[in-house]
Amino acid sequence: MNRNLLYLVIGALVVVIAVVGYQLYKEQQKPSGIEINLGKNGISIEEK
């Protein structure tokens, strides 16, 4: 029974890591609208 619980926990962690990785991947694939940078020369606004 103890070994089955360990397998269940490891399986759940693998699923959670896979879901979080997929969400991060999809977030990076989204086109961004406006980029605002604050630097030495002031504020820079760029449309992406």
Percent of the residues in the chain that have a pLDDT greater than 90, as a whole number: 46
Please tell me the pTM assigned to this model: 0.58
Query: Could you give the CA distance from residue 18 to residue 20 in angstroms, rounded to a whole number?
Result: 6
What pLDDT digit, counting tens, does each position of 17-35 carry?
Answer: 999 999 999 888 877 688 8
What is the b/e burial string over 33-48, where b = at least 16 CB atoms within 10 angstroms of the residue's CB? eeeeeeeeeeeeeeee
